[in-house]
Amino acid sequence: MTKSIAVFGTGPGVGQAVARRYGREGYDAVLVARRQAPLDLLAQDLSAEGITAHVITADLDQTDAVPALADRIRESVGDPTALYYGPVPSNLAFVPAADLTPEQLQDRMPITLHTLLALVREFLPAMVERRDGAILSAQGAAAVRGRPNMSGWPVALAAQRNYLQSLAAEVARKGVYVGMLYIGARIVGTPFEADYERRRAQGEPMPDMAAADPGELADILWDMHAKRNRHETVVPAGLLDG
């Protein structure tokens, strides 16, 4: 049976790189994001590389639409062998913690946590039944340790991390791997990089951050999945020491 990965948040950066990396390992890729045109272009590129790709447009802010989305994925590849979850809110702007409002946090919860929970409930049972599967994510390292002037979305990401940590412990002996990559760098070609550069140019106090290549980050996720010897990796190494 052909293995498959559903990539939720196949935008520029890690999502596209994950689709390509898993495709090179023989996985069919289901590309899920809001906009059709970029997905079609990526699918064409993957096809030229010998990778089977299926395009499905969806707004991952709409948790109630997950059952219908899951049905569309099953029509393409059945229950996926693996899923990657890494969408970014449409309003990415970070705020100082002192200025964060309940409304701003609530706005980021559906796409960050609620939809992920709903997707896991859809696809985890089949993974457990066949004793093979993977649930993967890549997010900002601010989910692990708060940073000044970079609150808002990271608060929701910290909740996501807590959920995935618990899930990892519960399903490890059932053949399902949960892997989390936390990135304390500007990922080349992503909205975060653009927002970071804009704010620094405006003179806002922003921490120094190295740039990261999305292909190398996808390699790390694949290595974690293939070896199953750790559930979390932080990039750059040693970022959170001290």
Residue 24 sits in a domain of what CATH number?
3.40.50.720
Side-by-side strand order, sheet with 176-183: 53-57, 28-33, 4-8, 82-85, 133-140, 176-183, 232-235
Can you tell me the distance from the alpha carbon of 190 to that of 36, in angstroms, rounded to the nearest whole number?
18
Q: How high is the pLDDT of residue 199?
A: 78
pLDDT band at 64 (very low <50, low <70, confident <90, very high): very high
For residues 5-16, average pLDDT: 93
Q: Domain for residue 239, yes or no?
A: no
Cβ–Cβ < 8 Å for 107, 91: yes
Q: Domain for residue 241, yes or no?
A: no
Q: Domain for residue 148, yes or no?
A: yes
Q: Domain for residue 237, yes or no?
A: no
Q: Domain for residue 242, yes or no?
A: no
Among residues 104, 110, 32, 21, the alpha carbon closest in space to that of 64 is found at 110
pLDDT band at 19 (very low <50, low <70, confident <90, very high): very high
Contact residues for 132 (Cβ-Cβ < 8 A; gap 6+)? 81, 175, 176
> Which tokens go with 119?
């997707």
Look-up of token digits 């991952």: 60
Can you tell me the distance from the alpha carbon of 142 to that of 151, in angstroms, rounded to the nearest whole number?
8
Residue 240 has pLDDT above 70, yes or no: no
Task: Give the structural domain span for 107.
Answer: 4-231
Residue range 154-183, pLDDT digits in tens: 999 999 999 999 999 999 999 999 999 999
**Longest CA span, the chain:** 54
Q: Domain for residue 35, yes or no?
A: yes
Residue 202 has pLDDT above 90, yes or no: no
Q: What angle do CA 129, 61, 189 make, to 5 degrees?
A: 95
pLDDT band at 241 (very low <50, low <70, confident <90, very high): low
Q: Domain for residue 236, yes or no?
A: no
DSSP secondary structure string for all residues of the chain: ---EEEEES--TTHHHHHHHHHHHTT-EEEEEES-HHHHHHHHHHHHHTT--EEEEE--TT-GGGHHHHHHHHHHHHSS-SEEEE----S----B-GGG--HHHHHHHHIIIIIHHHHHHHHHHHHHHHHT-EEEEEEEEGGGTS--TT-BSHHHHHHHHHHHHHHHHHHHGGGTEEEEEEEE-SEETTSHHHHHHHHHHHTT-------EE-HHHHHHHHHHHHHH---SEEEESTTTT--
- Note the pTM of the prediction, 2 decimals: 0.91
Residue 189 has pLDDT above 80, yes or no: no
Q: Domain for residue 240, yes or no?
A: no
How many domains would you assign to the chain?
Answer: 1
- What is the percentage of the chain residues whose pLDDT exceeds 70? 97
